[in-house]
Amino acid sequence: MRSISSLEEERVTLRKRIAAATGSSGAGLMLANRPSKSGTVSGKDRIDWKSLSAQLASAQEGSGIGDMRAMMNFQQRLEKMTKEEMADALDEIAGLDLPEATRAMLESMIIDPLIALDPEMALKRFADRIQSDPDGVGWQLSNALKQWAKNDLSAATAWFDKQIADGNFESKTLDGRSDMRLQFEGALMESLLASDPDAAARRLADLPEDQRREVLQQISFGELSEESRTAYANLVRGLVPADEREGSFAHIATELVNSGDYSDVSAFLDGVRATPAERAAAAMDAADSKLEQLAMEGKVTAKDVDEMRAWLKLQAPDQIDSITGKALAEAAQERGKFKFGDAAALALQYHQSSGNDDVLVAFLESYSARSNLPKAKHLADMIKDDARREEILKGLN
């Protein structure tokens, strides 16, 4: 989630720079007179992909308004291209003498809009790249299967099952695990949850137990309907190994709190009638994620912690103090303005107000504390219980 947040910030910055360039005249896309195989684009409008790749690379590096304008113009051109024109462009790019990284950049920019127009076409064209390029085209094509399944679940399922039968998702690792298959299974599972939960359960049951939780975690829970969320929870409870179920609920809580607030997590837990253990696991991860998110944006204040503790009182009343300590320690590991000293001051404040040692003990059991030994040891002296204090000090030495 931190990586996604960082990329999102870069995207927003890029959009602002593109907007600033709007209205300025100057160099746009460099064009070349090349015939189109599909006949849908006139020669004078053909894109010189080699020149464009250099412009886009410069734009990504922020080296000039002209290059930023090139990227803006290119995005506008993509929006107007037909799927046949995109197929021609991909053929042309494949035949150019370009560095592999440059070729991959151009392909990735075209594949997403192609998926939006015709996910089936994208899948069939690049099926041989699913395993050879899992982090690039393969990752994008799992989204193509997801979109195709929304339009034609039967055809998408049949295509995927044939790929599996033909060995295109066989694992090359000793443990027999194919990460790409799990990602594609998750993409298909989202539509199955909405249309046929029983079929979703059968498909999940066919996978090894130790891979089921990860398949479910490929699904964007926030996009599911209330009925699909209930079906999802039933799959977790019925098919995910017992020792991993609470982790599944924690994963959902993290996703929801990062895209909203505690109320979204509460609605989810109430909607699926979560057990006390499921609520506690979800509450711990939601609290960690929320304070980490706040720490990335700026400071974590006592007001933020009070709001978190008020919510924890409803979800995990017996663990309010320990979750508070752990969440503060996790937040102090972020690269923002919220430092270990800030977190330690808040931990001490809630230690004193709570009347027990749980906040400080949980705070000092963290990696953050072991990375700040002098301050952590000083804080450990505040622990009232002799045995717990000695145990913490021992761990800090």
Return the higher-pLDDT residue of 12 and 119. 119
Residue 303 pLDDT class (50, 70, 90 cuts): very high
Residue-wise pLDDT tens digits, 116-146:
999 999 998 888 888 777 777 888 899 999 9
Beta pairing partners, 31 = 47
What tens digit of pLDDT does each residue of 54-110 get? 776 665 665 544 456 666 777 777 878 899 988 888 888 888 888 887 888 888 888
Copy the structure tokens of residue 15.
């959009």
Q: Summarize pLDDT for 227-282 with one digit per residue, the tens.
A: 999 999 999 999 999 999 999 999 999 999 987 789 999 999 999 999 999 999 99
- Segment 316-338 mean pLDDT: 90
Which two three-digit tokens encode residue 202? 């059968």
Is the per-residue pLDDT at 32 higher than 50?
no
* Whole-prediction pTM: 0.75
179-218 pLDDT, tens per residue?
899 999 999 999 999 999 999 999 999 999 999 999 999 9
pLDDT level of residue 41 (50, 70, 90 thresholds)? very low
Residue spans of the domains in the chain: they are 10-117
